[in-house]
């Protein structure tokens, strides 16, 4: 019966009309513009019907139905809060049916609405709560459906490959699982592999908190590989990049781990670093064949690749596209350069619906003009991230936003915490460092070359709300968890003249919206029609091909030329193939080359395999005789 009711609601022609109207009104309010177009107002009777529809769709198992339920209920609540009796309890019921218990805490009136909920609905919630309640760090906590499934699978010893949006809370579960294991399993050892040094600091800090909560205060979080003869504490958890993990494996040939986390696991496709990452994973699995593995990535479609890559048939895929907050994609089109006339549209793939118009009174002639003035106009009420293409770009944009904010808040002194951050920037870099000036107006920037102590302080200041703007480069794509309500992008690039790839675009977009702080996040796409790539029209999930597989399967002739030491061959990205050669030669010498080639997919032809093994044999002889 419920399935028929869900289908009736979903197929109603009034549903998309309702969604479009609610979205238009919500975005217009968030952006501070007058809504335009049809359905510029909604009466309370219709608003009530929309929440009733959300309550029905929330019972579905289909992600499209569930996302619509979430958006209907939260849009209505934020537009009509205080004007409809029982609205808080009704929206709470929708969130509970979705299993999204953390979002209940986003709004105080929803959080406190259980006492006014009808008994039948309250009883339904109590049953639902029992199913999602677990004991973590000696505390009873409510998890989302996705988190509960992940927790149960990890607790059962499963190895897993996850693809999930940034805001699903998977890092919290991983760190809680590790902490609980140290508190309850003698001799347990975990290693958490991250792609960048910037992420090491964040995972280290979060891991220490989780260990403390679990009462595992005797566990050391190690982020620097020990020397060969260095004595480590009895209980350690390693947080390393793949380069640091390789040093550990070289210095400690007997080291084994029980649980290995590979965060941002799609980086196995990234050239020589991807080859190195696969190499250290294989080495740890060879040392302990039953090591529990966890591969985590936001946008991978072929999760089975991790099982094939490691030769582990027990790695089960776990995928979801349900986030704990939802995102609105807002196109901002400049219609008048000199006066700063803009039109706002809600984007959904290739389609767009007009939201409203605004005039900034500022020239918007360049990309920098747009990023600075549009983020200042539409992002000043909530915390915002502005994406920059590089270090110099980030400093320039941050300085101009800071200047605008300084004019807005003239004669208002900076807080003591921002003054301290400014002083730290002067001490860590130099007295004229741009950041020392921008943070006084609540604007920071973030890139890889900032000294670690200062970068950590910037992240902390933004996390607690002291900084209102953070201008970031691609460092943010490597997993540093700093969500904001608004993200601003204009023809984003990861490298010079290279548009942001789909996997990176969706990774960055997933940081719009802060769990327990807001229901919706906004991604402002500035002059979207000018972008070389149109990521909204493409798939959110992308297949990955490990860099080692690329070398073996797609560039076999170049790889053989590198192995044969043919310096006359014109080979692009020779460094990647040299890294692949080193890895393959090591496998050849240790007798693991057959297993390595067997795991490549598709498997090399017998002829290609024979040629590669012969080339490695000859190279081994040259090196041995050399």
- Is residue 196 predicted with pLDDT exceeding 60? yes
* pLDDT band (50, 70, 90) for residue 621: confident
Quote the pLDDT of residue 369: 97
- In a domain? residue 250: yes
Give this prediction's pTM: 0.90
**127 φ/ψ angles, rounded to the nearest 5 degrees:** -65, -45
Together in a domain, 519 and 455: yes
How much is the mean pLDDT over the chain? 91
Q: How far is CA 316 from CA 98, 171, 295, 485, in A?
A: 24, 18, 10, 33
CATH of the domain at 196: 3.40.50.300
Is pLDDT at 321 greater than 80 in this prediction? Answer: yes
Cβ within 8 Å of residue 341, ≥6 positions away: 334, 335, 357, 358, 359, 360
* 483 vs 239, residue with greater confidence: 239
The pLDDT value recorded for residue 38 is 64
Residue 540 lies in a domain: no
Q: Which domain-ending residue is among 106, 135, 164?
A: 135
Residues 159 and 112 in one domain: no
CA 444, distance to chain mean position in Å, is 20
Residue-wise pLDDT tens digits, 301-320: 999 999 999 999 999 999 98
What local confidence, expressed as pLDDT, does residue 204 receive?
94
Question: Is 339 in contact with 359 (CB distance < 8 Å)?
Answer: yes
DSSP per-residue codes, 1-15: -HHHHHHHHHT-THH
DSSP secondary structure string for all residues of 475-543:
GGGGT----BSEEEESS-EEETTEEPPHHHHHHHHTTBS-TTT-SEEEEEEETGGG-SS-GGGS-S-B-
Q: Is 496 exposed, middle or buried (0-12, 13-18, 19+ CB in 10 A)?
A: exposed
Q: Is the pLDDT confidence value at 80 over 90?
A: yes
Q: What is the pLDDT of residue 600?
A: 80
> Does pLDDT of 133 surpass 60?
yes
Q: What is the mean pLDDT of residues 576-602?
A: 86
What is the number of structural domains in the chain?
4
Categorize the per-residue pLDDT at 288 as very low, low, confident or very high, splitting at 50, 70 and 90: very high
pLDDT at 625 (0 to 100) = 72
Q: What is the mean pLDDT of residues 345-370?
A: 93
Binning pLDDT at 50, 70 and 90, where does residue 421 land? very high
**pLDDT for the residue numbered 138:** 79
Question: For residues 489 and 477, what is the distance between their CA atoms, to the nearest angstrom?
Answer: 13
Question: Are 342 and 461 found together in one domain?
Answer: yes
Give the model's confidence band at 118: pLDDT under 50 very low, under 70 low, under 90 confident, else very high: very high
With cut-offs at 50, 70 and 90, classify the pLDDT of residue 539. confident
502 — pLDDT class (breaks 50, 70, 90): confident
- 107 and 149 share one domain: no
Based on the domain organization, do 164 and 184 belong to the same domain? yes
Mean of the pLDDT values across residues 165-193?
92
In terms of residue numbers, what domain contains 573?
A: 547-625
Mean pLDDT for 2-18 is 95
Are 112 and 150 within one domain?
A: no
Contact predicate 506/542, CB 8 Å: no
Report the share of the chain in percent with pLDDT over 90: 69
What whole-number distance in Å separates Cα of residue 114 and Cα of residue 118?
A: 8
Say whether pLDDT at 538 is over 80: no
Give yes or no for residue 497 having a pLDDT over 80.
no
Is 73 in the same domain as 114? yes
**Predicted confidence (pLDDT) at residue 626 exceeds the cutoff of 70:** no
User: In this structure, is residue 539 part of a structural domain?
Assistant: no
What is the token pair recorded at 135?
Answer: 């004991």
Residue 478's pLDDT band (cuts 50, 70, 90): low
| Phi/psi at 386 (5° precision) | -115, 125
Could you tell me if 367 and 503 lie in one domain? yes
Q: What digits encode the pLDDT tens for the residues 517-526?
A: 999 999 999 9
Task: Tell me the average pLDDT across 462-489.
Answer: 87
> Is 593 a member of any domain?
yes
Do residues 514 and 572 both lie within one domain? no
The whole-number average pLDDT for the span 551-570 is 81
The residue among 433, 480, 441 whose CA lies nearest residue 460 is 480
Residue 100: predicted pLDDT: 94
In a domain, 255, yes or no: yes
Residues 512 and 378 in one domain: yes
384 three-state secondary structure: strand
538 in any annotated domain: no
Q: Count the neighbouring beta carbons within 10 Å of the beta carbon of residue 537.
A: 11
Quick check: is 542 in a domain?
no
**Final residue in a domain of this structure, among 297, 319, 341:** 319
Within a domain: residue 207?
yes
pLDDT recorded at residue 495: 72
Q: Same domain for 232 and 85?
A: no
* pLDDT band with cut points at 50, 70 and 90 for residue 592: confident
Q: Which residue has the tokens 């590669």?
A: 612
User: Where a domain ends, among 109, 135, 161?
Assistant: 135
Confidence class of residue 39 from pLDDT cuts 50, 70 and 90?
low
Q: Same domain for 84 and 157?
A: no
- The predicted structure's pLDDT at residue 40: 67
Q: Which range among 55-64, 268-277, 524-533, 548-557 shows the weakest confidence by mean pLDDT?
A: 548-557
On the question of pLDDT at 479 being above 70, the answer is no
């Amino acid at each position: 019966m419920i399935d028929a009711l869900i289908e009736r609601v979903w197929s109603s022609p009034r549903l998309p009309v309702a969604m479009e109207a609610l979205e238009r009104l919500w975005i217009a309010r968030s952006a501070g513009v007058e809504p335009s177009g049809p359905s510029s107002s909604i009466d309370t009777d219709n608003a009530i019907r929309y929440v009733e529809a959300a309550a029905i769709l929330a019972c579905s198992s289909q992600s499209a139905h569930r996302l619509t339920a979430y958006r209907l209920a939260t849009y209505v609540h934020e537009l009509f809060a205080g004007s409809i009796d029982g609205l808080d309890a009704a929206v709470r019921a929708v969130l509970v049916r979705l299993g999204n218990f953390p979002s209940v805490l986003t709004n105080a009136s929803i959080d406190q609405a259980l006492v006014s909920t009808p008994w039948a609905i309250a009883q339904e919630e109590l049953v639902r709560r029992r199913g999602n309640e677990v004991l973590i760090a000696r505390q009873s906590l409510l998890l989302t459906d996705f988190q509960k499934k992940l927790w149960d699978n990890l607790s059962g010893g499963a190895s897993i490959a996850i693809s999930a949006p940034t805001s699903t809370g998977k890092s919290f579960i991983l760190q809680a699982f590790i902490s609980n294991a140290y508190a309850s399993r003698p001799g347990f050892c975990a290693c958490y592999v991250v792609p960048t040094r910037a992420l090491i600091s964040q995972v280290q800090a979060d891991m220490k908190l989780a260990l403390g909560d679990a009462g595992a205060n005797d566990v050391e979080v190690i982020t620097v590989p020990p020397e060969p003869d260095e004595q480590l504490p009895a209980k350690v958890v390693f947080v390393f990049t793949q380069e640091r993990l390789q040093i550990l494996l070289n210095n400690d040939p007997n080291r084994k781990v029980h649980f290995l986390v590979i965060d941002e696991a799609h980086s196995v496709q990234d050239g020589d670093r991807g080859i190195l990452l696969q190499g250290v994973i294989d080495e740890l699995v060879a040392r302990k064949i039953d090591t529990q593995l966890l591969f985590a990535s936001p946008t991978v479609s072929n999760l089975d690749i991790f099982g094939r890559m490691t030769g582990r048939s027990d790695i089960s895929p776990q995928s979801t596209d349900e986030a704990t907050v939802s995102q609105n994609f807002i196109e901002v089109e400049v219609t008048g350069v000199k006066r700063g006339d803009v039109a706002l549209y809600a984007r959904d793939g290739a389609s767009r619906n007009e939201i409203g118009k605004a005039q900034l009174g500022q020239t918007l002639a360049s990309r920098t003009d747009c990023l600075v003035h549009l983020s200042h106009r539409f992002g000043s009420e909530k915390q915002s991230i502005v994406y920059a293409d590089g270090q110099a770009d980030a400093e320039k944009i941050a300085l101009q936003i800071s200047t605008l904010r300084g004019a807005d808040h003239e004669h208002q002194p900076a807080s003591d915490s921002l003054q301290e951050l400014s002083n730290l920037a002067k001490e860590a870099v130099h007295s004229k460092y741009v950041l020392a000036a921008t943070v006084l107006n609540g604007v920071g920037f973030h890139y890889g070359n900032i000294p670690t102590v200062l970068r950590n302080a910037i992240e902390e200041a933004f996390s607690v709300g002291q900084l209102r703007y953070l201008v970031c480069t691609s460092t943010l794509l490597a997993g540093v968890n700093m969500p904001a309500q608004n993200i601003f992008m204009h023809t984003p690039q990861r490298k010079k003249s290279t548009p942001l790839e789909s996997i990176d675009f969706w990774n960055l977009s997933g940081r719009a919206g802060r769990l327990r702080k807001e229901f919706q996040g906004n991604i402002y796409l500035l002059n979207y029609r000018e972008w070389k790539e149109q990521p909204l029209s493409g798939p959110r999930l992308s297949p990955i091909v490990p860099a080692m597989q690329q070398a073996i399967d797609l560039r076999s002739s170049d790889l053989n030329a590198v192995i044969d030491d043919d310096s006359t061959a014109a080979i692009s990205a020779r460094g990647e193939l040299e890294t692949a050669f080193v890895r393959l030669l090591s496998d050849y010498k240790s007798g693991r080359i057959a297993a390595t080639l067997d795991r490549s997919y598709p498997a090399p032809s017998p002829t290609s395999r024979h040629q590669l093994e012969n080339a490695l044999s000859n190279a081994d002889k040259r090196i041995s005789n050399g």
